[in-house]
Chains A and B, each alone.
Chain A
Amino acid sequence: MKPKTRRLYVVVLALLALGTAAVLVLNAFEDNLVFFYSPSDLVAKNVPAGQAIRIGGLVEEASLVKDGLDSRFKITDGVRTVAVAFSGSLPDLFREGQGIVTFGRLDAGGTFQAEEVLAKHDENYMPPEVADALKAAGKWKPDDQ
């Protein structure tokens, strides 16, 4: 096979591979991008119920209620609060007054049904998204960690 033909063949294969990848990526993006909202954002941007999203903020003091495996608590960014319901064991680093990020959906009643509670970091670490949300709400106090 002449080198030119071979080169053409390689280029066609490469385009095919890239094309397939592009289709896969765009498809996956459509279904699998998860947006992050702070409690204020939830109200401001009118997020519809049932959409899988992440929300984050500080766990409001004295808001945690546990009933066996089920827990309910509130997340706040200093301006607005969202009630969260979660079934399962909370991560070790979950504490009132601590910053967390949670993944789930808003239900029709305005409570956030959490499927995952993410706190995979040490206790001095504030997730950047939560820090930004607090800053946006004007409630950022760096020495409060």
Chain B
Amino acid sequence: MTVETGHFALIVALILAVMQSTVPLWAAARGNRELMNLARHTAWGQLICVTLAFCVLMYAFASSDFSVTVVAMNSHSAKPFLYKLAASWGHHEGSLLLWILILSLFGACVATFCRGMPDPLRARVLAVQGMIGVGFMLFTLLTSNPFDRLIDAPLDGNGLNPLLQDPGLVFHPPLLYFGYVGMSTAFSFAVAALIEGRVTPDWARWARTWVLIAWAGLTMGISLGSWWAYYELGWGGFWFWDPVENASFMPWLMATALLHCISVVAKRDAFKSWTLLLAILGFSMSLLGTFIVRSGLLTSVHAFATDPERGVFILVLLGITVGGALLLFAIRAPTMEGGGGFEPVSREGALLINNLLLATATATVLIGTLYPLVLEAVTGEKVSVGPPFFNATFVPLMMPMLAVMALAPLLSWRKASALAAFKQLWVAGIAAAGVLLLSVWISGAGVAGIIGMTVAAWLAAATAYSWVRRWWGKGALRRLISLPMEVHGMSIAHFAAAIVVAGITATSVWQSEAVKLMKAGDSVDLAGYTWRLDRVYDAVGPNYQAVRGEMTVTRTDDGSQVSILYPERRFYPVAQQNTTEAAIHTTGLADLYVVLGEGEQTGGWAMRLYHNPLVPWLWFGAAFMALGGLVSAAGRIRVRRTRTANTAAEAVA
């Protein structure tokens, strides 16, 4: 009975969304205040209904109600309780409902917060949000209903894919969806601005918070997914340029470009067309990603259940959304006022380079991801485009951008002197040269590795210098506190980016690996450590049986113990599936990573040992980057007021 309540609640939410998409738009054009404010009420109504629907779904999973199809397909009574709950979004239908839930949450936030936002703009933003909601709710109700009943309810379910029973995977989708939905909100703001026919610095101020939240969400979601892949899949790698990974990475690149642009609109009233276009394209990338993941077009560990009908629906949704928005852009953008001018060498110039490089990089990732699809559709040939392609195209584009990132905070708006900026960075230059020499001395890095480490050092030192310079001297503490939040946010995020690049480069070029057949008592020397396999024994978990190894790692030179690692191979009887649980010890500067392979007592086990230098910096760096974004979001940006009377009048309203 309760399950049908959830279904009904979703339908009510759909009706509210339809109302929200139509009435406020008409009302904004007419200036009808009451009907414009209807949008706020429908937004709240949607949130309540979808929350109810989601709670119903979670309850069905928590109580192991196998009369509901998705519960029967994705859960099992023996599963640990946390994973029963998390299974609510661990499959296609449920994850869509989560998407819709976060969408309505953001809608309600836009309706409630954003003080000082003029009613017509708010009404239009909520209307576009509503349209997106209609699209997704229709998709869910028509093709992917989580509340479908299974007529002959089985006694127990199929269980969740053991790979997904993991704390990392519990948080990965929600964080990622915060990112995707944030991009949809940015999209709504952009389309609303196009409908209104103008982009003002005040608009940028309100939209900016959403872009920063979306960006932080995507950063956390992607890095959590990458970290999960690292410790779960057992290959010591953290990024495979998998189509689904790319599907989340492309919106992130667009969001990065967008968040820089939107600050410029707020402060300098420039880059308006760029901002609108990036918001539209960023959300398009999100939708494209949704299509790739859920249509079964591509082979991937991520791919949800395949269904061409769903693929066609999403493609249509994508076409309407992107086509409509771009058409609106083509019609309206030329009529918008241009913004403030600037010289080539200036903060704006640097940001322009940043945008171009990010956009081009996104395009290359898109080509690499779609090329196999297109080629197969046209010629029937099957190809795969893997890491070598992306490393050869993406990395060379990012290096110059990182180098310019170091310089940009020191350039002034409108017109700057590059020479003056460089002169200030002589300390950073020395740091970079030092790291360059160190990388060459350590050897084995190759040109790409040396460049990567040098650029990372350059960026880190320059960012630290730019930040300290702003408050150092007499009255430092007072100045530090009174600096705008966005300065701190930017410094944190840029510094963290340098850390991430250092982590990625170091672990890519200086990773050590050993694949050996080891019997109990054997030991292997790798990367200055001695790894000794003490014993291998059987163990039992809540819903699995395991073979567990005990491996002691000591430093080769002085024999001091570093850690005891317990890698496992698990067998899940319900899913009839094996997984390997790698054992990882992190020293902060490197990871010691052990995987237990197949084998038995007499012949030994196939052990894989890895030493991954600086890989922890990747994850910590990514977390710090997201933190930087949130710190910036918390700040109030100082808006450069334009001299139009309209803005003043509406700001009062």
A144 on the B face (CB < 8 A): no
Taking Cβ atoms with an 8 Å cutoff, the residues of A that contact B are 1, 3, 6, 9-10, 13-14, 17-18, 20-21, 24-25, 27-29, 31-36, 54, 68-69, 88-90, 92-93, 101, 120-123, 127-129, 132
Given contacts A6-B342, A34-B383, A35-B381, contact A25 B575 (CB under 8 A): no
Distance in angstroms from B529 CB to nearest chain A CB is 21
B74 → A minimal CB distance (Å): 12
CB distance from A21 to the nearest CB of B (A): 4
Encoded as 1 (CB less than 8 Å from any A CB) or 0, chain B from 385 to 410 comes to 11011001100110000000000000
The distance in angstroms between the C-alpha atoms of A21 and B356, with both chains bound, is 11
Q: What is the CB-to-nearest-CB distance from A68 to chain B, in angstroms, rounded to a whole number? A: 5
B567 vs chain A, min Cβ distance (A)? 12
Q: Is B631 an interface residue (CB 8 A)?
A: no
Task: State A139–B364 Cα separation when bound (angstroms).
Answer: 38
Complex contact A3–B356 (CB within 8 A): no
Q: Does B130 make an interface contact (CB < 8 A)?
A: no
Chain A nearest CB, measured from B271 CB (Å): 11
* 6 pairs from A and B in contact (CB 8 Å cutoff): A3-B338, A20-B396, A24-B393, A33-B389, A88-B606, A92-B578
CA separation between A27 and B391, bound complex, in Å? Answer: 12
Q: Are B577 and A123 in contact (CB under 8 A)?
A: yes
Asked if B389 contacts A92 (CB within 8 A), the reply is no
Which residues from A are CB-within-8-Å of B299?
A: 101, 121, 127-129
A-B interface, 9 closest residue pairs, ranked by CB to CB distance from nearest = A89-B597, A92-B578, A36-B382, A28-B392, A89-B606, A32-B389, A32-B388, A120-B301, A24-B393
B338 contact set on A, CB distance < 8 A? 3
Shortest C-beta distance, A118 to chain B (Å), equals 9
Residue in A closest to B242 when the chains form the complex, CB atoms: A120
A120 to B155, CA, bound (A): 29
Best-buried of B341, B382, B388, B578 by chain A (most CB within 10 Å): B382
Q: Which residues of A contact B389 (CB under 8 A)?
A: 28-29, 32-33
B residues near A88, Cβ cutoff 8 Å: 515, 606
Asked whether A20 and B579 contact (CB < 8 A) given A9-B344, A32-B389, the answer is no
Decide: B603 and A20 in contact? CB cutoff 8 A. Answer: no
Residues on A with C-beta less than 8 A from B384 are 33-34, 36, 54
Do B341 and A1 touch (CB < 8 A)?
yes
B650 in the interface, Cβ–Cβ < 8 Å?
no
B577 touches A92 (CB 8 A): yes
Flag if B578 contacts A93 (CB, 8 Å): yes
Query: Measured between alpha carbons, how far is A9 from B371 in the docked complex, in Å?
Result: 31
Q: How far is the CB of B583 from chain A (nearest CB, A)?
A: 15
Please give, as numbers and ranges, the residues of chain A lying within 8 Å of B569 by CB-CB distance.
92
B598 within 8 A of A: yes
For A120, give the chain B residue with the smallest CB separation. Answer: B301
Contact of A34 among B386, B578, B597 (CB under 8 A): B386
Provided the pairs A34-B386, A93-B578, A122-B161 are in contact, do residues A17 and B342 lie with their beta carbons within 8 angstroms? no
Q: Is the interface of B mostly helix, strand, loop or mixed?
A: mixed
Q: Per a CB cutoff under 8 Å, which of B342, B388, B577 touches A31?
A: B388
Chain B contacts to A: CB under 8 angstroms: 161, 163, 233, 296, 299-301, 338, 341-344, 352-353, 356-357, 359-361, 363-364, 367-368, 371, 381-386, 388-389, 392-393, 396-397, 515-517, 569, 575-580, 595, 597-598, 603-604, 606, 608
Q: Which of B296, B343, B603 contacts A68 (CB 8 A)?
A: B603
- Interface contact A20-B385, CB-CB below 8 Å: no
A24 contacts B385, C-beta separation under 8 Å: no
Tell me whether A17 and B383 are in contact (CB under 8 A).
Answer: no
Contact of A20 with B397 in the complex, beta carbons under 8 Å: yes
Q: Is the CB of B343 within 8 A of A89?
A: no
Shortest CB-to-CB span from B446 to chain A, Å, is 16
User: Are A25 and B352 in contact (CB-based, < 8 A)?
Assistant: no
Most buried by B among A25, A68, A123, A127: A25
Shortest beta-carbon distance from B342 to chain A in Å: 7
Task: State whether A69 touches B603 (Cβ < 8 A).
Answer: no
Residues of A within 8 A of B368 (CB): 25, 28
> Do B392 and A21 touch across chains, with their CB atoms under 8 A apart?
no
Partner pick for B352 among A13, A33, A90, A121, CB 8 A cutoff: A13
Closest partner residue, chain A, to B348 (CB atom): A6
Interchain CB contact under 8 A, B397 and A10: no
Is B364's CB under 8 angstroms from A24's CB? yes
A9 — which chain B residues lie within 8 A by C-beta?
Answer: 344
Within the assembled complex, what's the spacing in Å between the Cα atoms of A1 and B415? 10
Q: A25 touching B393 by the CB < 8 A rule?
A: yes
Give the shortest distance, in Å, between A120 (CB) and chain B (any CB). 4
Taking A32-B386, A32-B388, A92-B579 as contacts, is the C-beta distance between A17 and B517 under 8 angstroms? no
* Chain A residues with CB under 8 A of B163: 122
A33 contact set on B, CB distance < 8 A? 383-385, 389
Q: Which residue of A lies closest to B596 (CB)?
A: A89
- Which residue of chain A has its CB nearest to the CB of B343? A1
Q: Which residues of B contact A69 (CB under 8 A)?
A: 515-517, 606
Q: Which A residue sits closest to B578, measured CB to CB?
A: A92
Contact A18 B360, beta carbon cutoff 8 Å: yes
Q: How far is the CA of A17 from the CA of B352 in the complex (A)?
A: 12
Measured between C-beta atoms, what is the minimum distance from B169 to chain A in Å?
14
Judge whether B360 and A1 touch: CB under 8 Å: no
A35 touches B397 (CB 8 A): no
Q: How far is the CA of A28 from the CA of B300 in the complex (A)?
A: 22
Nearest B-chain residue to A56, judged by Cβ: B382
The distance from the CB of B365 to the nearest CB of chain A, in whole angstroms, is 10
User: Which residue of chain B is the closest to A16 with respect to CB atoms?
Assistant: B356
Query: What is the distance, in angstroms, from B355's C-beta to the closest C-beta of chain A?
Result: 9
How far is B382's CA from A132's CA once the two chains are assembled, in angstroms?
10
Q: Judging by beta carbons under 8 Å apart, are A31 and B392 in contact?
A: yes
A29-B389, A89-B597, A120-B301 known; A14 and B580 CB under 8 Å?
no
Give complex CA distance A64, B595 in Å. Answer: 22
- A52–B339 Cα distance when bound, in Å, is 52
A110 to B608 Cα, complex, angstroms: 29
Contact status of A20 and B341, CB under 8 A, knowing A13-B352, A25-B393, A92-B580: no
Within the complex, the shortest CB–CB distance from B501 to chain A, in Å, comes to 19
Task: From B360, B363, B598, give the contact of A90 (CB < 8 A).
Answer: B598
A32–B359 alpha-carbon span in the complex (Å): 23
Contact of A21 among B352, B363, B386, B516 (CB under 8 A): B363
Residues of A within 8 A of B385 (CB): 32-34
Q: How far is the CA of A35 from the CA of B163 in the complex (A)?
A: 29
